[in-house]
Chain A
Amino acid sequence: MTESKAFNRVSTVILTILVVLAMLPIVLIVVASFTAETTLIRDGYRFMPKELSLDAYYYMLKQGKIILRSYGVSFLVTFGGTAVSVLLTTMLAYPMARKAFKYRNLLAFFVFFTMLFNGGIVPSYIMWTRFFHIKDTIWALMIPNYLVSAFNVILVKNYFQNSIPDSLIEAAQLDGASEFQIFVKVMLPLAVPTVATISLFTGIAYWNDWTNGLYYVNNEKFYSIQQLLMKIMSNIQALRSNSNASLLGTGAVDLPSTSVRMAMAVIGILPIVIIYPFVQKYLVKGVIVGAVKG
């Protein structure tokens, strides 16, 4: 027994160290966002700075029009995209889960094949920009890539199949319910746990996405918070490699001070950190269910 206790203790110590190491980088940028600018410039980023200040956050409140706007874009895209995505995903999964559906195998293969092969970004880019003229619209952030993932469809289909008894569907059919009514009134309400899981995965993917912006958005009006952060960083790099101060003035996104930059990164992760304690359960479940069949 003592050996087991020793093992338990060693595990606790190692894991505690790992957790601390995993949290330190996040702590560093949070601390940096609260550090006085002069201290940052003199001492660099520190875990325990000499002088703290709320200036970065005041600055954002006062000057933050563009930040606020990009925040709004991110929220709009996240909620809009997730809602449409959940609708499309569940509607696609339902017929696949119905044994009575004649084309279910065909449909399953059609969905599944998208996981095996893809045309790559070049044809997609040309299609979205030249045929759908999606560049510099809000749709560019919502539509490409994220609306339907085969992985989510299969997750929901498995849930429909394994957790909802056929007898429920048959009973509804006897009552004269149409397929659409069965889907909306019987299946969806019973699938809440899975819908919660895929909404979370999709929502986080939209919030964190920067690739659609990178490819399809140049207009500052449609910058998401991620793209705004990205632009600030690339302006810093441009400045560093060019030492040309005129680069500073390119567009409305000029170079905020170091602490403001870090404060912006902090508010970029804030929504996720806020919802995290409440949704952790669904996330962990989703990871386990999806891990192998992914």
Chain B
Amino acid sequence: MEKTLVKSRKKRFSNLSLALIALPGVLYLIINNYIPMFGVFLAFKKYSLKKGIFGSDWAGFDNFKFLFKTKDAFIMTRNTVLYNVAFIIIGTIVAIAVAVMMCELGDKKRVKGFQALLLLPNLLSWVVIGFIVYAFLNADSGYLNNTVLRTLGINPVSWYATTGPWPAILIIVFLWKNMGYQSIVYMASISGIDKSIYEAAAIDGASKMKQIFKITLPLLKPTVITLVLMSIGRIFYSDFGLFYQVPQNSGALFSVTQTIDTYVYRGLMELNDVGMSAAAGLYQSFVGFVLVLIANFTVRKIDPDNALF
């Protein structure tokens, strides 16, 4: 009797001290993450600096009405979604191809070296990447205009004012930065495949290509599906750095570089339109939330081990 009492008191004490250990982190998440979640009501206010956030008048759905009346809403949604679709499709294919070839190298040292070099661009900041792209594209001294186009005898292009090439440029920069990172995941997945399957196939006379298409790729399918679904869950979010730093915030390019994230930034910091910007932010968060739930639900059906929850 006494023993269980001591034990239960000990347990309560233990619960309390564990809660106390978690407390600093919990407080941080409340401030950094949860309070802003409640702040989404700003999207329904006619924000005025003078009246403050609580004193400002309610606007109902006016901010959203104005937002969706503009061309911007369509452009930023289209860009965000289409770029993500391109990144998912091209990025996945390239990453798998790189992973398959890496696994064929055999020589461990070489694999590690290649892997290290392909991962390096992933560790550079978007600001530095902006500088690097600028070294290629700027009109006067850029590498493309000065060396490549001049050698080919083509007139110089003012890259930061010409929308045409930008989808390609952004996809190339995305691949350059993320190819190494994404292929590592697939490599891990491939090296988890039972080697005896390949040996058996080789004895049966299956060619290398056949082994890849009949063994490696089918066995990669669950990983691919999971990762693709997770990316689809984030299709309403874009990498702010890619779309802000790489085009150098050039206004002439907005029609092909504006995404929801850059719109929210510009609305808030450059145009001071808090209501509209908050509305676009909530639009992103809400649709994003629904998409993540759907994506996770689908993953759980196909491959429960890899579901987020």
Partners in one complex: yes
**Residues of A at under 8 Å CB distance from B?**
3-4, 7-8, 11-12, 14-15, 18-19, 22-23, 25-26, 28-29, 32, 40-41, 43-46, 87-89, 91-92, 94-96, 98, 100-103, 107, 110-112, 114-127, 130, 143-145, 147-148, 153, 178-180, 183, 204, 207-211, 214-215, 226-227, 229-230, 233-234, 237, 258, 261-262, 265, 268-269, 272-273, 276-277, 280, 283-284, 287-288, 291-294
Q: A124-B39, A179-B14 are in contact. Are A287 and B285 (CB under 8 A)?
A: no
Residues of B within 8 A of A119 (CB): 33, 35-40, 281, 285
Interface of chain B, helix or strand or loop or mixed? helix
Q: Tell which of A4, A41, A96 touches B208, judged by Cβ atoms closer than 8 Å.
A: A4
Residues of B within 8 A of A153 (CB): 25
Q: Tell which of A40, A87, A288 touches B184, judged by Cβ atoms closer than 8 Å.
A: A288
Complex CA distance for A8 and B111, rounded to whole angstroms:
12
Residues of A within 8 A of B147 (CB): 44-46
Complex CA distance for A148 and B154, rounded to whole angstroms:
51
- How far does the Cβ of B88 sit from chain A's closest Cβ, in whole Å? 15
Residues of A within 8 A of B157 (CB): none
In this complex, the member of B52, B127, B269, B282 whose beta carbon has the largest number of chain A beta carbons within 10 angstroms is B127
- How far does the Cβ of B276 sit from chain A's closest Cβ, in whole Å? 10
In this complex, the member of A14, A204, A233, A258 whose beta carbon has the largest number of chain B beta carbons within 10 angstroms is A233
Verify A114–B33 contact, CB threshold 8 A.
yes
Verify B277–A122 contact, CB threshold 8 A.
yes
User: Is residue B289 within 8 Å, beta carbon to beta carbon, of the partner chain?
Assistant: yes
Q: Tell which of A178, A207, A261 touches B131, judged by Cβ atoms closer than 8 Å.
A: A261
Interface of chain A, helix or strand or loop or mixed? helix
Residues of B within 8 A of A280 (CB): 112, 116, 119
Q: For residue B49, which residue of chain A has the nearest CB?
A: A130
Q: Which 7 A-B pairs have the closest CB atoms?
A: A123-B39, A120-B281, A44-B146, A119-B36, A92-B25, A208-B125, A44-B141
Complex CA distance for A114 and B289, rounded to whole angstroms:
11
Q: Tell which of A91, A121, A237, A261 touches B25, judged by Cβ atoms closer than 8 Å.
A: A91
- How far does the Cβ of A184 sit from chain B's closest Cβ, in whole Å? 10
User: Is residue B226 within 8 Å, beta carbon to beta carbon, of the partner chain?
Assistant: yes
